[in-house]
């Protein structure tokens, strides 16, 4: 039996750290290395995408055979009623109830978004302005399965789509890698059934993305694709945008940052740090505190808890914390927030005595979890707030997947006559400056009719 490797965590003193050490943390060192390596995949994924566009179902079947070792026929690409039935029979009542609870909480959160998405307000002189929200017509949801079973991903991205009212929702799931398991992860199929989604396809990841974008004999094209995936899937998602399909951006390797003060429990901090770190070798987990003693305690506790993890999760966690993340000593609360905002984490936990007092200083994060009872695991599975979130710094410009992801808004306006005349001089001035005589005439014609004597 091979001896277990060790884990050693040093504390990075941010105020005295060099530029290279700071850059390592902020750029998620291992994640950036992985992104560099994936450039080698670009050509092969591009060929795969083009093959699906050109050959349709035949290319999907070939990809399943080549990359997943599965023989399929066009009639088996879509999951049938018997597979749904077998999936439900394979699950325990406890897991089905967990799925239902998580869907219900996500539904409630997203229903609140939809209720508030359309609005109107009165303006001056009888003007009414606002927006109406409408669901997009079709979406393809990608649920990964390369490292395990992820029914929670379908809960997170599927429930908002259903609540938003998307007319057609297609789901693509790669073959289940678990030996002896069903062709498609049983729990994911039960989530689909609970959401009323029956258009589910078992396809190789990148080729499935291509099918959703280009359409094949079996898989009709969609207007948008949502869902995280492997580097190969991410490349496919980037490529298919040239086909006119929109892809939700920023859904890459998970990352998390915790800000903690001396009120935090170091045992819980270690558990929450490892929670996000076990996702994969390209994940990143960071803990920031002004309390050096607390960081030292967490370092010891992380090593203790890390040893209890099974492989490959133990290896994933080591890379995520030691190589890509780590423990950071901040000189002040203000510096701790500066680090968090520069990092722009997917998940930010405020493990402090007064998290509400810190919230105003948070500028960039996919989600903010306030206090140690608001665990990453609770957010990932069952709180109901979004857990499919922007990663690798995309939180600076992108939001998580909610009902907003599946809605478009249409601005509305109704001018009263008096308010039209109030802004008419501005219309004329801008139309003249920009060289649009017909724009200016739309005012002058109305003025001429308005000023015409009633006897004419």
In terms of residues, how long is the chain?
456
Q: How confident is the model at residue 296 (pLDDT cuts 50, 70, 90)?
A: very high
> Considering only CA atoms, which of 392, 156, 350, 400 is closest in space to residue 254?
392
Q: Which among 194, 276, 278, 346 is annotated as catalytic? A: 346
Q: Residues 385-405: pLDDT tens digits?
A: 999 999 999 999 999 999 999
Q: How confident is the model at residue 341 (pLDDT cuts 50, 70, 90)?
A: very high
Question: In the CATH hierarchy, which fold is given to the domain comprising 11-28+253-383?
Answer: Rossmann fold (3.40.50)
Q: Tell me, yes or no, if the pTM score tops 0.75.
A: yes
Q: How far apart are CA 185 and CA 171, in angstroms?
A: 13
- DSSP H or E stretch at residue 420: helix 417-434
Going edge to edge, which strands form the sheet with 128-135?
Answer: 119-122, 128-135, 407-414
Percent of the chain having pLDDT more than 70? Answer: 95
Q: How confident is the model at residue 30 (pLDDT cuts 50, 70, 90)?
A: low
Delimiting residues of CATH 3.40.50.1980 domain(s) in the chain: 11-28+253-383, 41-250
Across the chain, what does the average pLDDT equal?
93
Q: Which among 347, 434, 439, 456 is annotated as catalytic? A: 347
Q: How confident is the model at residue 33 (pLDDT cuts 50, 70, 90)?
A: low
pLDDT at 149 over 90: no
Does the active-site annotation cover 433? no
Average pLDDT (412-433) is 95
Q: How far apart are CA 214 and CA 243, in angstroms?
A: 7
Q: How far apart are CA 318 and CA 307, in angstroms?
A: 10
Most confident option among 120-129, 161-170, 226-235: 161-170
SS3 call for 262: coil
CA angle 308, 311, 314 (to 5 degrees): 55
Q: The tokens 């298919």 sit on which residue?
A: 240
Q: How confident is the model at residue 151 (pLDDT cuts 50, 70, 90)?
A: very high
SS3 call for 372: coil
Token pair belonging to 434: 């920009």
State how beta strands 347-351 and 224-226 pair.
Answer: unpaired
Does the active-site annotation cover 97? no
> Considering only CA atoms, which of 188, 199, 196 is closest in space to residue 99?
188
Q: How far apart are CA 26 and CA 45, in angstroms?
A: 29
pLDDT score for 58 = 98
pLDDT score for 179 = 66
Domain 41-250 in CATH 3.30.300.30: no
pLDDT score for 3 = 43
pLDDT at 301 over 70: yes
| Long-range contacts, 441-447 (Cβ 8 Å, 24+) | 446/420
């Amino acid at each position: 039996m091979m001896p277990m490797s060790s884990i050693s965590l040093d504390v990075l003193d941010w105020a005295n750290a060099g530029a290279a050490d700071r850059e390592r943390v902020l750029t998620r060192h291992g994640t950036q290395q992985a992104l560099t390596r994936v450039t080698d995949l670009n050509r092969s994924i591009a060929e795969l995408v083009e093959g699906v566009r050109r050959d349709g179902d035949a290319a999907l079947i070939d990809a399943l055979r080549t990359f997943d070792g599965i023989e399929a026929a066009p009639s088996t690409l879509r999951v049938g009623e018997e597979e749904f039935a077998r999936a439900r029979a394979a699950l325990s009542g406890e897991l089905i109830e967990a799925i239902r609870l998580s869907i219900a909480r996500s539904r409630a959160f997203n229903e609140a978004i939809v209720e508030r998405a359309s609005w109107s307000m009165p303006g001056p002189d009888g003007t009414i302005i606002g927006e109406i929200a409408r669901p997009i017509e079709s979406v393809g949801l990608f649920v990964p399965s390369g490292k395990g079973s992820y029914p929670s991903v379908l809960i997170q991205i599927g429930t908002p789509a259903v609540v938003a009212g998307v007319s057609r929702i297609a789901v693509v799931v790669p073959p289940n890698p678990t030996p002896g398991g069903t062709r498609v992860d049983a729990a994911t199929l039960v989530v689909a059934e609970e959401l009323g989604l029956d258009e589910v396809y078992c396809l190789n990841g990148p080729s499935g993305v291509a099918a959703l974008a280009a359409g094949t004999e079996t898989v009709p094209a969609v207007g948008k694709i949502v869902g995280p995936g492997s580097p190969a899937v991410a490349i496919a998602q980037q490529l298919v945008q040239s086909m006119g399909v929109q892809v939700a951006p920023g859904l890459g390797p998970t990352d998390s940052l915790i800000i903690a003060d001396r009120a935090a429990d170091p045992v819980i901090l270690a558990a929450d740090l490892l929670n996000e770190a076990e996702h994969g070798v390209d994940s990143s987990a960071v803990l920031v505190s002004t309390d050096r003693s607390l960081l030292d305690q967490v370092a010891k506790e992380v090593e203790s808890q890390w040893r209890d993890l099974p492989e490959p999760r133990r290896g994933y966690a080591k890379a995520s914390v030691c190589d890509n993340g780590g423990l950071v000593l901040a000189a002040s609360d203000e510096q701790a927030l500066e680090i968090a905002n520069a990092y722009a984490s997917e998940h930010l936990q405020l493990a402090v005595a007064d998290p509400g007092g810190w919230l105003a200083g948070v500028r960039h994060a996919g989600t903010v979890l306030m206090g140690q009872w608001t665990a990453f695991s609770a957010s990932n599975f069952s709180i109901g707030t979004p857990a499919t979130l922007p990663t690798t710094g995309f939180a600076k410009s992108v939001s998580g997947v909610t009902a907003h992801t599946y809605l478009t808004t249409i601005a509305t306006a109704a001018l009263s006559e008096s308010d039209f005349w109030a802004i008419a001089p501005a219309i004329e001035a801008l139309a003249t400056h920009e060289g649009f005589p017909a724009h200016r005439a739309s005012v002058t014609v109305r003025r001429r009719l308005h000023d015409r004597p009633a006897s004419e």
